[in-house]
Amino acid sequence: MAAATSISNTLIPFHKTQQKSQPTKTKPITLCMTIQEANNTTTSPTTSTEITAIATATTIARQQNLDQEQEAIQHIYRKKPRHPQEHHNKRKLRHVWREIQGESDWAGLLDPMDPILRLELIRYGEMAQACYDAFDFDPFSKYCGSCRFTRCNFFSSLGMNPTRHGYTVTRYLYATANINLPNFFRQSRWPKMWSKNANWAGYVAVSNDEMSTRIGRRDVVVAWRGTVTHLEWVADLMDFLKPFSAKNIPCPDPTVKVESGFLELYTEKDESCGYCKYSAREQILTEIKRLLEMYPNEELSITMTGHSLGAALATLSAYDIVETGLNVVGDNRAVPVSVFSFSGPRVGNVRFKERLETLGLKVLRVLNVHDMVPKSPGLVFNEHLPASVMKLAEGLPWSYSHVGVELALDHKNSPFLNPNGDAVCAHNLEALLHLIDGLVLFYI
């Protein structure tokens, strides 16, 4: 099965079974092994049960070693202090969460990497990865294209540590579209499938009381799934720009434009289908409004996360929230909205970027410099051109600009990753999280 093979190749480092008599340890990750090398190393999973086991092992392996790695990093810092940022590990997240969420555009936190920010990026990245791990890829399953777990057992079913992921999933998100997205939408081969028009696209979750105390606020998270195969969708999307207000979305500036394929996926609905009777946009805005009203007297934050196409949808939906003023609560207090984007493409034009910054939306884009997806769309006309040229090209339907702050990583600088990996592996979320996981050590 193609989907199973793809997953096995991205999760090779965690396939080998560990003996119970030996202490658990993480082997160095070999990024981008070829399919032949992977097959020589282990057998590719052929069932959804095996895929679940691999995905769960991946999450548990990282969680089991996180405390040990952090202790090692702190030990190195104690032995060889280099920078005032190195003392950030003595702080508590609940005291500095606004800074971590981008209040000051992450100034001074990225080079060297702030230890608290590093852990938060991994945590939100794992919540995005959960969208892949929980997705039913099996074409022989009646529920192919849906989530394999119930909302109440979502994180526990994936083996995710409640001390790091103390959230309750309050709503699943479903998407539909009348555009060519063969790698985003999956359908069962059963004649009586759960839905012919919808796919599970992600979830909305809110931190529980214990987690809220630990992180200093009630955090509402929206996690978006990316495509099943990571690169082919670029050619499938309609990459011309369309006004954000074209779908009757309130926006005072008609020159604010976004990629039309992203906008269609975000706003399309099928009233004949129970799962996508409401668009993904309507599902998100309704749930965000409900949760903000549920906790009127608490410190709140809204965090969007996603990988690949999911990163684009996270940026688009976050912009929608601040543009419509949904994050402004009853006492006229604006709830901070942040996006942690992983390997995301460009979403809109220069006016989209300027409007997003004016509204105070904070976006941190994490990417691998060898990944082609963040370089598209807008391969020719983009933010790297002189402002005068972009001004002349702003009327073109293919003139794009990245938003927010960029954190660019290079897997070739890691001693644990194969420097000769292919383009698909450079786009892999697990490998990107591994780069973040070891980033502090790379700086030393």
Q: Which residues of the chain have pLDDT under 50?
A: 1-46, 51, 69-70, 72-89, 235, 440-444
141 classed as catalytic: no
Tell me what pLDDT residue 261 has: 86
Residue of 8, 141, 301, 308 with catalytic role:
308
Radius of gyration of the chain (CA): 21
User: What gap in Å lies between CA 403 and CA 325, rounded to an integer?
Assistant: 20
Degrees to nearest 5, angle at CA 225 with 378 and 254: 45
Block residue for tokens 């082997």? 27
The single-letter code of the amino acid at 163 is T
CA nearest 306: which of 125, 120, 183? 125
Q: Decide if 383 contacts 374 (C-beta within 8 A).
A: no
Q: Does residue 75 have an active-site annotation?
A: no
CATH of the domain at 7: 3.40.50.1820
Catalytic residue among 114, 138, 371, 437: 371
Q: Mark whether 427 is an active-site residue.
A: yes
Please say whether the dihedral angle defined by the alpha carbons of residues 163, 164, 166 and 172, taken in this order, is positive or negative: negative
Beta strands 199-207; 218-224: pairing state? antiparallel
- Its domain, for residue 376, covers 2-443
Which one from 88, 411, 427, 434 is the annotated catalytic residue?
Answer: 427
Whole-model pTM: value is 0.78
State which H helix or E strand residue 38 sits in.
Answer: helix 35-41
Count of domains in the chain?
A: 1
- Nearby residues of 216 by Cβ (< 8 Å), 6 or more positions away: 92, 93, 94, 95, 97, 299
Q: Tell me how far apart the alpha carbons of residues 113 and 197 are, in angstroms, rounded to a whole number.
A: 43
Give the pLDDT of residue 207. 97
pLDDT score recorded for residue 54: 54
